[in-house]
Chains A and B, each alone.
Chain A
């Protein structure tokens, strides 16, 4: 089996002086040789733990060259990495560490043990600290060749760990490297946080092609003016980001002040790109090619659509998510329950093929529910509604159920409600997403508090201890009661009238 990081080791061997990572916030860089040496040291330290092959090592690290080296070191040691969101509430990270039965955690040497109830110090080296789990050895069985686990929002209020093998990740990474013709002369932005699946492209497609990764922290990524200056300063050729972030560039990036002439391609994914915002972006980057990539964490990128050259069409509706990538097949679960694999009509998109996940870690029931058997294969039910247009391209028509996409993240509105119900003053809560052109502009909360309305800051603070920042609602509305349907369920349609 070819492993995910093998081509990166090859780059380090053939071009050790090449710049692997630029890290502007600390004004330093890492060559491929340095990256490899640190990754190797990390893999040796991990081997000293004598963990069974495929054990999970959680990363509790800010984005940095060392964090990338840690990812490589974990893979080199035949282990799987689980990137935690360092900005997420501790309660969520504790849940993930326990639920995943992670056998080790890596963090920075200069922070004190972040999870003292769960882990014991093992050793420190090169500014990193390695802890081992204080729990018994893991009893969860992962798939053969597990590479990483990414947690996504779950409707029951508990996040689910998507397991991806080396083989599944490589299906996408190898295709992406060839399709977007990545070369050592390329500089790629690394905007996505490590726990977000867009980072798989940056790290593995980018580094396996010998590119330079421009590693950006979350605060840098939210600053379009800074991004604009970096694109010029570092000669960025390829950007992969969510529409939420990209659409800030025309208004706030002052692109005319900077030389963006090296930028040759813009990849976007994670949500719908509204056409007016996309046109504005194409106007500031007229020479770049644009690509719409689509895929839930469970399948990685599974369909794609190259946009026609800038200025050559006058499409008004959002662009299609396009055609299946060559390693996957798509089918459509029709309204009547039949499955059409000819890609006609409309219904829920199903995906089977090489890039599909190996299941949710330690959640066999949820895994069973997420997959459907058809013609002797297992298909992942994306929950996304699609239609096939006259060109045979897939058009995205929104989500089934109460999941939304915001800033590229999947959010189960039920998870926010579950968190609100933990507040002792709140009797009832319901969440709604305000949508404009198929993209979420705001999350509203309606709640009943018998003692009277609660301050916005108090509610936000309460939620910030329980759910990640990207899930935090924008508005809280106090109501005497939440409207109900005849079956005593929250009447979301009636609530919509209140927006």
Chain B
């Protein structure tokens, strides 16, 4: 579980290069609501999540509600992986 968060943090800070110092990025930092991550970065994040965690976003799932913090993203990835297995 913790691994998803570690990978995510790494991606957000180094690949997406979000304008935050590492210590400012907490698991509950609001990325979209606090305008840290813009819409294009959100799309790149979706692309990254799909590839890295082998999940697929439905069109209506690409929303701030599913991408707003590390905690929320982790929960969403877990949910997608579980429902993929169930299917």
Contact = CB atoms under 8 A, between A and B. Distances in A.
Interface of A: 219, 222-226, 228-229, 248, 251-252, 455-457, 460-461, 464, 469, 472, 474-476
A252 B46 contact: yes
A475 B34 CA distance: 15
Contacts of A460: 34-35
Contacts of A469: 35
Contacts of A229: 59
Interface string B1-43: 0000000000000000001100010000000001110111001
A202 B47 CA distance: 31
B51 interface: no
B54 interface: no
A470 to B, nearest CB: 10
- Sorted nearest first, the 5 A-B pairs with minimum C-beta distance are A226-B59, A229-B59, A222-B39, A456-B19, A225-B59
A226 B62 contact: yes
A224 B60 contact: no
Contacts of A455: 24
Given A455-B24, A457-B34, A248 B40 contact: yes
Interface of B: 19-20, 24, 34-36, 38-40, 43, 46-47, 57, 59-60, 62-64
Given A223-B63, A225-B62, A226-B60, A474 B38 contact: yes
A475 B19 contact: yes
Given A219-B63, A248-B43, A225 B19 contact: no
A147 B38 CA distance: 35
Contact of B62 (A223, A251, A464): A223
A17 to B, nearest CB: 29
Contacts of B35: 457, 460-461, 464, 469, 472
Contacts of A251: 43, 47
Contacts of B47: 251-252
Contacts of B43: 224, 248, 251-252
14 contacts: A219-B64, A222-B39, A223-B62, A225-B62, A226-B60, A226-B62, A248-B43, A252-B43, A456-B36, A457-B34, A457-B35, A460-B34, A469-B35, A476-B19
Nearest to A219: B63
Contacts of A224: 43
Contacts of A461: 34-35
Contacts of B64: 219
Contacts of B38: 474
Given A223-B59, A223-B63, A252-B46, 13 more contacts: A219-B64, A222-B39, A223-B62, A225-B46, A225-B59, A226-B60, A226-B62, A228-B59, A248-B43, A455-B24, A457-B35, A464-B35, A474-B19
